[in-house]
Amino acid sequence: MSEQNAVLDEFMQGLIRRNPGEPEFHQAVYEVAQHIIPFTMKHPKYEQNQIFQRLTEPDRIVSFRVCWEDDQGHVRTQRGYRVQHNNAIGPYKGGIRFHHSVTQGILKFLAFEQTLKNSLTGLPMGGGKGGSDFNPKGKSDREIMRFCQAFMTELSRHIGPFTDVPAGDIGVGGREISYMFGQYKRIRNEFTGVLTGKGISYGGSEIRTEATGYGVVYFMQDMLATKGQTFVGKRCLVSGSGNVAQYAVEKINELGGTVVAMSDSSGTVYDKEGITAEKLAHVKHLKEVQRARISEYLTKYPNAEFYEGKTPWHIPCDLAFPCATQNEINGEDAAHLVRNGCMGVSEGANMPSNQDAITTFQKGGLLYAPSKAANAGGVAVSGLEMTQNSMRISWSRDELNTRLRNIMSDIHSKCVQYGKEEDGNVDYLKGANIAGFVKVGEAMLAYGVV
């Protein structure tokens, strides 16, 4: 074993021992450590000051009970969390997830990734993540409101516009942010930019809703340009049908690509004629208004097919956009994509590809954009929402879209700067990890031992 591998191995063994039962956190740290450990061995100031070790230990984690009453008058109890991971370069910033699968380990992986992602945006934001094991599926609007209010009643004592600024994630969209913002305002008697993703008329930003999905596609556009290619005529798979997926599809269509699949946790819709703007409007209605399953797509468009319980990755495509959840692409799925001629993957979801899948993409020579780079557009526009709130102004859609486009290109350039290999290929994962780490690491060094 090389010295680097021995150090990496020892580091990971210690991390796993200190964080038992948190496989997603181990996976996220390994993905970064494989590049940062060798990097810090070449730059001893980071190693001597234990910068990476410190970066893998969250600043703090709060967990709290959330009690609420359902429509039948039954008392329900959930667990809420906020992982305040690192505030070296700005207030903690990151989404809130409501999903039955939420655990402390999942939020630790997300908060760790968020710290590096936020660093890549170039904006002054630290990393955090929160959420609850509350399952929003099948809940009435009033139940959602009561849960959001109960959750914020407790969370409000830990956040603030200069401390920690949460936003949306899985199960938390405009509706939930509004209920939480309303409750914060009521408890604190302050109208302040404490959450992002707010409605436009009460402190929200244009383009925030679209930003993650658009950014994922802009990043792919930049990767394709390095090969002299564009979206025109490319067949694309998009998993998920929530916020990120919807706006990824919208932008792919605008750039001349054809999306042939979308999905949710019940299965995949395959529409070989393409999910056009008109069909996408129907998906948005199904998901945002009716809160229905994706299989309902076939009621209006019977020429499509529905694969129950399946992900989209067996369908032939040129480009793939995982926009649902972590570990939704395994090694076998990745092998299908490579065999079927897929040339690029841009990750909308956080850590959607497992380690086997990433190895398969990289060996297959695909353009592979890891989530911390590709989906950073969402939090970037959240950062711009914070700026607008502080300045008490609102920028136009065009202004914000231009800023988002430039931020995604800057992130692409940073990945190339730190990830270009001797053969000319770009290892975007390595580039994103090192570029994200260096900015946070320099700030931590400046603060001394804290």
Token reading at 248? 């990824």
Give the nearest distance from C-beta 257 to ligand NDP in angstroms.
19
Nearer to ligand 2IT, 95 or 312 (CB): 95
Rounded to whole angstroms, how far apart are CA atoms 54 and 298? 50
Give the nearest distance from C-beta 435 to ligand NDP in angstroms.
18
Q: Which of residues 114-133 bind ligand 2IT (CB under 6 A)?
A: 114, 117
Cα 286 versus chain centre, distance? 23
Residue from 87, 149, 268, 325 touching ligand NDP (CB under 6 A): that is 325
- Comparing every residue's Cβ against ligand NDP, the nearest one is 242
Give the nearest distance from C-beta 200 to ligand NDP in angstroms.
16
Q: In this structure, which amino acid lies at residue 95?
A: G
- By rule CB under 6 A, what count of residues binds ligand 2IT? 12
Q: In this structure, which amino acid lies at residue 147?
A: F
Nearest-10 Cα torsion for 437, 439, 444, 446: 150
Is 240 among the residues that bind ligand NDP (CB under 6 A)?
yes
By a kind-dependent CB cut-off of 5 to 8 A, residue 127 interacts, out of ligand 2IT, ligand NDP, none, with: none
Is 93 among the residues that bind ligand 2IT (CB under 6 A)?
yes
Residue from 24, 169, 210, 333 touching ligand 2IT (CB under 6 A): that is 169
Is 378 among the residues that bind ligand 2IT (CB under 6 A)?
yes
Helix (H) or strand (E) holding 235: strand 235-238
Which range in 9-17, 48-56, 318-326, 395-403 contacts ligand NDP by CB under 6 A? 318-326
Give the nearest distance from C-beta 96 to ligand NDP in angstroms.
10
- Which of 353, 446, 431 is closest to 36 using CA atoms? 431
CB 377 within 8 A of CB 355: no
CB 100 within 8 A of CB 78: no
Please give the angle made by the CA atoms of 151, 155 and 157, to the nearest 5 degrees. Answer: 140
Residues annotated as catalytic (active site), given as ranges = 129
Give the nearest distance from C-beta 43 to ligand NDP in angstroms.
29
> Looking at residue 296, what DSSP letter applies?
G
Is 253 among the residues that bind ligand 2IT (CB under 6 A)?
no
Rounded to whole angstroms, how far apart are CA atoms 146 and 166? 19
Give the nearest distance from C-beta 421 to ligand NDP in angstroms.
27
Q: Which of residues 170-229 bind ligand NDP (CB under 6 A)?
A: 170-171, 173, 212
Q: Which of residues 211-250 bind ligand 2IT (CB under 6 A)?
A: none
Q: Which contacts qualify for 56-64: CB closer than 8 Å, 24 or more apart?
A: 56/15, 56/29, 56/112, 58/83, 58/84, 58/85, 58/86, 58/108, 58/111, 58/112, 59/84, 59/85, 59/86, 59/87, 59/92, 60/84, 61/104, 61/107, 61/108, 62/158, 63/104, 64/154, 64/155
Nearer to ligand NDP, 128 or 173 (CB): 173
Backbone phi and psi for residue 153, each to the nearest 5 degrees, phi listed first:
-55, -40
Give the nearest distance from C-beta 186 to ligand NDP in angstroms.
25
Token reading at 10? 């020892």
Residue from 209, 311, 360, 382 touching ligand 2IT (CB under 6 A): that is 382
By a kind-dependent CB cut-off of 5 to 8 A, residue 325 interacts, out of ligand 2IT, ligand NDP, none, with: ligand NDP
By a kind-dependent CB cut-off of 5 to 8 A, residue 93 interacts, out of ligand NDP, ligand 2IT, none, with: ligand 2IT
Rounded to whole angstroms, how far apart are CA atoms 297 and 300? 6
By a kind-dependent CB cut-off of 5 to 8 A, residue 29 interacts, out of ligand 2IT, ligand NDP, none, with: none
How distant, in Å, are the alpha carbons of 3, 34, 36, 70 from that of 8?
A: 9, 7, 9, 48
Q: Which of residues 242-261 bind ligand NDP (CB under 6 A)?
A: 242-245
Is 378 among the residues that bind ligand NDP (CB under 6 A)?
yes
Nearer to ligand NDP, 40 or 311 (CB): 311
Token reading at 106? 């999942």
Residue from 27, 265, 355, 387 touching ligand NDP (CB under 6 A): that is 265
Rounded to whole angstroms, how far apart are CA atoms 251 and 242? 15
Give the nearest distance from C-beta 308 to ligand 2IT in angstroms.
28
Strands 344-346 and 60-69: unpaired
Site residues for ligand 2IT per CB under 6 A: 93-95, 114, 117, 167, 169, 196, 350, 378-379, 382
